[in-house]
Amino acid sequence: MDVKIVAIMGGITAIGWLISHLLTIKREDIQRSRTALLNHTERQLEKLYGPLVFLIIEGKQTFNDLLSILGRKDVFIKEKQLPNKKELEIWIFWAENDFLPRNEKMKCLMMSNTHLIEEDVMPDCYKDFLNHCNSWSINHKRWKEKNIEYSWRSSIDWPIDFTNNVVNTFKILKERHASLLKKIRKKSFDSCEYKKGTGKKNSTLPAAAQK
């Protein structure tokens, strides 16, 4: 065979191998990126948004229980004080045994997991929630220790935008998690099919995706 033809065929083979190698590297990079994002998303759901959502759901139910006991749709009517001592006692019981402790749990979750907040900066509604908690907590503590009465609630209303943000972000993360898991599993299956019979296992697949 002519030397030139051999050289050309060798060059074509080398180019083909190089292209295949580069495509493999690109696919592996995409797979690693997906796996990293999947792991981060799982931490967000496990450590922050999952617990926050469940605490919010729990809080809505116990608040509805309180309204049922009071027999009306609002606790404080037109920003007025509670009408009698019995209702005040009920409200303080709910506040000390339900609302304030739950607020503190949610605040601690946020403080210890700021790196898992979805946005690049802390949303204003998160700051509103912290201000709501701190305003109520410190005034209630002063009443307990110094017997100085206050309005029996936070000076800042519960930020509904905070609730909406947490619930919507939880939904987005759940959808992202499902999508990433599906893509990683498919890629792992395709890779195993391609390497069938080698006995090798795709080490880039996270434990959750191997089940």
Domain assignment of residue 204, yes or no: no
pLDDT tens figures, 154-194 = 999 999 999 999 999 999 999 999 999 888 877 654 555 55
Cα distance between residue 171 and residue 45, in whole Å: 10
For the cut 70, the answer to whether the pLDDT of residue 131 exceeds it is: yes
Tell me the torsion sign for CA atoms 134, 136, 137, 140. Answer: positive
Position 124 scores a pLDDT of: 97
Average pLDDT over the chain reads 85
Tell me the torsion sign for CA atoms 13, 19, 25, 28. Answer: negative
Position 204 scores a pLDDT of: 45
Which residue range(s) make up the domain with 92? 3-193
Position 3 scores a pLDDT of: 65
Position 201 scores a pLDDT of: 47
Lowest-confidence segment of 112-121, 131-140, 183-192 by average pLDDT: 183-192
Domain assignment of residue 200, yes or no: no
Domain assignment of residue 203, yes or no: no
Position 77 scores a pLDDT of: 79
HSE-up of 69 (CA within 13 Å, CB side)? 15
Position 81 scores a pLDDT of: 76
Domain assignment of residue 201, yes or no: no
Lowest-confidence segment of 31-40, 72-81, 147-156 by average pLDDT: 72-81
Cα distance between residue 130 and residue 134, in whole Å: 6
Domain assignment of residue 206, yes or no: no
Position 167 scores a pLDDT of: 97
Domain assignment of residue 167, yes or no: yes
Position 22 scores a pLDDT of: 64
For the cut 60, the answer to whether the pLDDT of residue 206 exceeds it is: no
Position 207 scores a pLDDT of: 46
Q: Which residue has the higher pLDDT, 16 or 147?
A: 147
Position 52 scores a pLDDT of: 98
Residue 58 CA: distances (Å) to CA of 63, 73, 82, 92, 139: 9, 18, 24, 18, 24
Model pTM score: 0.77
Tally of structural domains, the chain? 1
Position 209 scores a pLDDT of: 46
pLDDT tens figures, 24-46 = 666 666 678 888 999 999 999 99
Position 177 scores a pLDDT of: 95
Domain assignment of residue 71, yes or no: yes
Domain assignment of residue 209, yes or no: no
